[in-house]
A = this chain, B = another copy of it.
Amino acid sequence: MPPIKKYLLTPGPTQVPPEVLLEMARPLIHHRTPEFSAELDKARERLKPLFGTAQEVLVLSSSGTGAMEAAVCNLLAPREEAIFVNGGKFGERWGKMLGAHGMTAHEVKVEWGRAVDPEQVEQALERHPRARAVFVQASETSTTAVHPVEQLAEVTRGRDVLLIVDGITSVGVFEQKMDEWGLDALVSGSQKALMLPPGLGLIALSERAWERARSLKTPRYYFDLNRELRAQRDEHTTAYTPAVTLVRGLNKSLELIHGETLEAVFARHRLMAEAVREGARALGLKLFAPDSPAPGVTGILAPGGIDAAKVVRMMRDNLGVGVQAGQDHMRTKLIRIGHMGYVAPFEMLVALSALEMALRQHGYDFSAGAGVAAVQRRLAAGA
């Protein structure tokens, strides 16, 4: 018998508030109407503080990967050179995309679980002076580590090099100051901190990135950002039929976020991250990214010989608590607990409780309740 009530605590898709689910269950409207235009305009405006930008934020009907590809094919031409930070599955994805589009991609390899050192990027740029862009994750969801994009921008902004940032698990999770830091592209998706189902990609570009996008004639159509900018900014609709229900949901979701206030949302994410980390430590467990842990997702290493994938399966199938194993070579080693978006701090008690039970079943020995107690102590101390 599966549990009657389930908790989705994965690093995305995340839970969707009932208010947003109901908003999306309203009768369909057409996308070439004043009603839809008003919703799109409002949602795009409400996104700006999450990106930390005064630039236009464009809404694409695709997953975050589609928005990442939009950054690649609008900002670089085939055979141009770029640097990409490969510190996990999504860093690797930048490299694959660049390769697929015929760019020459120079890898800055970072050990999984670590943040890139800005000096590594600086050196790579010196070795490859023709590189036109640096691609990186603000938060590498696969390893639960954050990269220092603010410091990376100090390296790129004085050069003729664009800094292109995957913010899929950073936008709305913790503060992003795109304009102030000098990020040239910031990409996100709907199914993380935005408390929506997957299906929307988001992207904002800096002024110099827009100049690049305008000057380039690369193969692109669905993800042509120039066309999309004209549609969304000037015509108040999208270039192609948008995912109407998700856009309405986005608007509702952003209303909830700004109602809570962004500061409170960020503090809640931090609180949950710290609570989970203290819970894990109290169980004698090691974090995968102890030096630069992500505020939206925590990676815990399965202790001595225990198969993380089996622990995750037991938590999900027997206990109703959906978390994720690591990806690729970390599948049997890493347990990832998501805590962003529509997640309440008390759910960290649920996460640690299920983790304790599953680990116990797999023969791990610890003082029962120690994890949950540590979570409680951290929650009680407040944000």
Q: What is A's interface to B at a CB cutoff of 8 Å?
A: 6, 8, 10, 12-16, 21-22, 24-33, 61-66, 69, 72-73, 78, 96-97, 100-102, 189, 191, 197-199, 219-224, 240-246, 316, 322, 324
Checking B198, B241, B316 against A13 with a beta-carbon cut-off of 8 angstroms, the contacting residue is B241
**Closest chain B residue, CB of each to CB of A2:** B35
Q: Point out the residues of chain B lying under 8 angstroms from A101, CB to CB.
A: 219, 221
Nearest-neighbor residue (CB-CB) of A223 within chain B: B222
Q: Which residues of B contact A64 (CB under 8 A)?
A: 240-241
Q: Closest chain B residue to A327 by CB distance?
A: B32
Main secondary structure of the interface of A (DSSP, over half): loop
Q: Which residues of B contact A243 (CB under 8 A)?
A: 63, 197-199, 243, 246
Neighbouring B residues of A61 by C-beta, 8 Å: 61-63, 66, 198-199
- Residue in B closest to A192 when the chains form the complex, CB atoms: B241
Contact, CB under 8 Å: A66 / B73: no
Count copies of this chain in the complex: 2
What are 20 A-B contacts defined by CB distance under 8 Å?
Answer: A8-B27, A8-B29, A13-B29, A21-B27, A24-B24, A24-B25, A28-B197, A61-B63, A63-B222, A64-B240, A64-B241, A66-B66, A96-B221, A100-B220, A100-B224, A102-B219, A189-B241, A197-B244, A198-B241, A222-B223
Selected from B8, B12, B33, B223, the residue in CB contact (under 8 A) with A241 is B12
Q: Output the residue of A14, A72, A221, A240 with the most chain B CB within 10 A.
A: A221
